[in-house]
Structure 1
C-alpha cells in the first residue's frame, strides 16, 4: 500500500483522549492531529519520537492531519493507523501472497457471522463452495525483543476467538491473521501476561483447528507492505 502523498514529519509531544495527539511541526508550530488507534499503543507513543502524518483534503474535518506512522529513537517504524492493517492484508491476498490461501478466488469484506453477532474482516471462497473466515489483528507491541498480541485486555478479541472456534466446528476454515506493523518484531507470541483469558482462548482455538498466520511489514514514509511470514510462538 502506497500512501497517496508522502507523509510529513513532526515530533510527538503527547497522546491523549485516545483519539488525539499534540505534535511539534518542523517550523516549531504545535498542532493537534487525529489518532485512529484506540489501543494502549505501548511503546508506540513515546514523547520525542517522530510522527509521520497524512493530510485530509476534506474541508469538514476538525483535525485534517492523521497519525500514520511512528519512527522511534531506535529507528523502528510502527504502523499506528489500525485501519491500514486490513488494507495491506487485502492487498496481499489479492496478489496471492499467502500460499496456504491461494485456492480462494473471491473475497468479501466485513461479513456478519456468529452467535455473538460479530463481523469478520474477510470471508474467502472459491467455485468449490469452500469458505475461509479470516480475522485480522495488527501487532505493534515489542517487549524484550519479542512481539506480542494483544497489548491490553481485549474483550472484543476474546469474542472473535470464540467465533472462529465455532466456525471450525461447523466445518469451515478459520484464520487469525497477525499483521505485524512494527519493523523491530521478527516473531509473535500471545501476551499471556496482559490478557490470560485471550491466551487460553487462543490455545483452545488452535487445538480445534483455527490457523494462525503472521506476516511482518516493510514500512517507509512512502509505503506500508506485508512482505514475508514470521513465526508464531505460543
Structure 2
C-alpha cells in the first residue's frame, strides 16, 4: 500500500481520543487521529509524525495522522487503512490460512456487529481485522486499551459458527521486530478470555506483521505471518 501527499510534523499533545496537536513548519495544527488505542509508548512529545492534508471542508482538524516514528522506523496509526491492507494480503495469497477464499463483501452485518469481511470458498467465512501497534521485545500485544467492541466482535464470530459460518480474526501487527502475537491479558482480560473461548470453539486467529516506510510517500509492506499464542485465562 502506498499513501501519497505526506507532510511531516512533530507531535505535541493529544487533547482527546481522536485529536492530536502537531507542529507543522512552526505552527500548531489540529490533526485527526483514527486510532482508539492509548498509544502511550508511541505518542511522546517531540516525536515526528506523518500527516496527510484532510479532504473536504467542515472539519476542525486540518490533517489526518498516518504514522509516528518509533526508534529508527515508522508505525502506521490510522485504522482507516486496515481493511484495504487486509484485502491486499488476502487477494495476493499471502495469508496461507485464507488460500482459496475470495472477498464477497466488506462491512457485513451479523448479530449486533458490523464485521469487516464476508469471505467465501464455497462456504461463508466472517473475518474481523484488528490493528496492533504495541510491540514489546518482539511480542505484539492487543489491545493497548480495554475494548468492549473487540470482545463483542470475537464472540459474534464464535456465535456465527453455529449458523454455518466459518470465523476468523486477522491481527495486522505494525512492527517489523514482532515475532509472536498474544492478547494483552494484563490490559484487557475480558478480551483475552473471549479470544481464547472463540479460538476453542473454532475461530481461526492469525497475525501478520508489516513495516512502514517513509520515502516521501508512506509505504506499508507485509512481512509475513508471526506465531500466535493465546493463553488460557484462569
- Same fold, TM-score > 0.5, yes or no: yes
| Conserved? CA contact 1:150–1:190, under 8 Å | yes
Alignment of 1:133-172 (within 5 A): 133-172=126-165
Choose 81-90 or 183-192, whichever is displaced more.
183-192
- Cα distance per residue 1:15-47 (max 9 Å; x no partner): 12112111222x322222121112212312111
Match of 1:229 among 219, 225, 229: 225
TM-score, with normalisation over the residues of structure 1? 0.90
Match of 2:117 among 113, 118, 122: 122
- Cα distance per residue 1:59-118 (max 9 Å; x no partner): 44332311100012x22421111111111001111222212212123421001112xx11
Alignment of 1:173-212 (within 5 A): 173-212=166-205
Q: Which residue of 2 aligns with 1:12?
A: 11
Gaps of 5+ in 2: none
Q: Which residue of 1 aligns with 2:32?
A: 34
RMSD over aligned Cα atoms: 1.6
d(CA) in 1 for partners of 2:34 and 2:187? 22
Secondary structure at 1:48 match in 2: coil
- Cα distance per residue 1:125-173 (max 9 Å; x no partner): 14x3x11110000001123442101112111111111111112233321
| Conserved? CA contact 2:178–2:226, under 8 Å | no
Choose 43-52 or 219-228, whichever is displaced more.
219-228
Q: Which residue of 2 aligns with 1:2?
A: 2
Gaps of 5+ in 1: none
Secondary structure at 1:220 match in 2: strand
